[in-house]
Chain A
Amino acid sequence: MTFEMTLQRVRTADPDEVANPLPFYAARDDVRTEPGPVRFVIIAIAVVFLTVFVVLPLVVVFAQAFSKGIGAYFSALSDPEALSAIRLTLWVAAISVGLNLVFGLTAAWAIAKFDFRGKTLLISLIDLPFSVSPVIAGLVFVLLFGAQGYWGPWLQSHNLHVLFAVPGITLATVFVTFPFVARALIPLMQEQGTQEEEAAISLGASGLQTFFRVTLPNIKWGVLYGVLLCNARAMGEFGAVSVVSGHIRGETNTMPLQVEILYNEYQFVAAFAIASLLAMLALITLLAKTILERHLDEGQHSRGN
């Protein structure tokens, strides 16, 4: 940033510019500035696009949710099925975020700090959930745990319920969300290198002390960032969960599934009331993400030697 600004200053101080003045429509203090009308059109396109595709739908969600008044809104939310969906979603998100936090930290640690055979393969595998359709992810679990699946009969004979129950929903969510923490941490940890860890070890710190006192504090904002995105996706996941859930009312419906069911039954207020919760989650996530990104940036600056 500073470098860019310096460059600009140098450019304006260039004697050539004085000899050949810029065209009348270009601002003298910034050679990259486009002419006024062009700027207006570009910004207008962006604003219109965002309004139509982002702001408008968001407004509609809340408008629909409150269309029959606040009373209807809250009674829709306090419906036992709605409450059950909210509870299930929170549970599944908490478990998946927890598991993926551990997995993401381990994977990022391994990839950033060690060299080993098959590292590239591991990195590609981590990205797999991003490239596979969530529906397919769900189907994989049906194939593995379903009544006709590989492990289905065994599970059935031991009276264990994976599919159409909380474990299946959690598994599908974990699969879909596992890249987030690892992806947030790998570049950060790679950039930080291993010198601080080496310093800690040479000063007599044990592996755990090194991790908790040196590694973790350095990546804490990155961890939070990954957890945040992971959580948003875990709560909002539809496709994979839809395949494994079985849509048992009040039992295996997460919030997105409940929204769909209510919508299909023309209960618009109830559907949009739950949708409004998910929309609020999105807004909070966005806000928190902005704050975290600022912290991550600061971390980057203080890192410059």
Chain B
Amino acid sequence: MAIEVRNIVKKFGAFAALDGVDLKVASGELLALLGPSGSGKTTLLRIIAGLDWPDSGEVTFDGEDALARGAGERGVGFVFQHYALFRHMTVFENVAFGLRVQPRAVRKNEASIRARVKELLDLVQLDWLSDRYPSQLSGGQRQRIALARALAIEPRILLLDEPFGALDAKVRKELRQWLRSLHSEINMTSIFVTHDQEEALEVANRVVVMDKGRIEQIGTPGEVYDHPATAFVHGFIGESIVLPVDVRDGGVRLGGKALDIAVNGAAAGASKLFVRRHDMQVGPPGSGALEGAVQRVRTFGPIQRAEVALSADKTVIEIDAPRDRELRAGDLVGLQPRRYRIFAAPE
């Protein structure tokens, strides 16, 4: 099922949660809505689900107007952030709920409901929990039951709100991979909301980066990471070093001194230079556009993270360097951005 969202505006009082959002989701895609809290990502998801209504704009499923239908008629499976399992029902009854409330004309008989629930519990590998109550489950188990419950109604679209938000780090990692493989198994158009960039980049086919009710960039994980469209995306995805620079006369200046890097078409004026921590090449003094003194070094795993005070304007930046050449506090180093972007600084 393809989803199209056109020019959606949603205001809560004076606050614009969504400010003209356009989005196309292809059938079978696994899409992440990524953004900080308050960026409107959950509101967008809820509007697609029919749990909220936009002030203006259109939502279509395969060209059909979705806004004309209520949440229960859209064929959308929704997994809530805190699962929202029915606490007075067993796991089995939770999963069976969507089948039991169907209109009598289309409702399945008890035997086929049981078979379907069993099938879903097998799919999420929790059939042994069917007589438990939600309060007796761990967070990861609740999450999977919530997913099974959403899938019971054979939705055409699966929507997940912060699916891993309330879980601990280890369970999160497992569930991420599990969700990916589940998606490739059932191949249902799926959208999930997250504020965790790693999660979005690792799980989704495409990532929608949102901020302040607007879409900043849509692209594959590789695209949004390697070619951020805006300063916000560059700063939000991946760890970035940000330096205030001045673009003037076809050159880049930091703290009044010219930097030996190309302007790359950036407009003249106050700007910001974005460099990923690991894109800063470390060499002997004089080897790069920047110079600085190492203040502190921490090593973990394959990298060493060094705090370097730049001689140009005394700001301290953090860089990630490979461990082939050990850095020590007090070393003078030259730094050359291998890859960087210059964005105009918003006034």
Contacts and interface: CB of A to CB of B under 8 A. Distances in A.
Interface band, chain A: 20 to 34
A303 to B, nearest CB: 6
B87 A302 contact: yes
Contact of B86 (A201, A204, A209, A214): A214
A201 B71 contact: yes
B53 interface: no
A34 interface: no
A204 B49 contact: no
A72 B72 CA distance: 65
Interface band, chain B: 20 to 34
A204 B102 contact: yes
B85 to A, nearest CB: 8
A202 B49 contact: yes
B166 A202 contact: no
Contacts of A209: 101
A195 B166 CA distance: 15
A204 B80 contact: no
B135 A195 contact: no
Interface string B47-83: 0011100000000000000000011110011101011
The A interface, classified by DSSP as helix, strand, loop or mixed, is helix
A205 interface: yes
B84 A203 contact: no
A191 interface: no
Interface in A191-222: 195-196, 198-206, 209, 213-214, 217-218
B170 interface: no
- A202, A205, A206, A304: most-surrounded residue (chain B CB, <10 A): A202
A203 to B, nearest CB: 4
Contacts of A214: 86
A218 B135 contact: no
A18 B212 CA distance: 55
A199 B50 CA distance: 11
A264 interface: no
Given A304-B135, A305-B166, A202 B72 contact: yes
A217 B88 contact: yes
Contact of A203 (B72, B88, B135, B142): B72
Given A198-B71, A198-B84, 16 more contacts: A199-B149, A200-B101, A201-B70, A202-B76, A202-B78, A203-B72, A203-B101, A203-B149, A205-B101, A206-B101, A213-B97, A302-B87, A302-B135, A303-B87, A304-B135, A305-B139
Interface of B: 49-51, 70-73, 76-78, 80, 82-88, 97-98, 101-102, 133, 135, 139, 142, 149-150, 152-153, 166
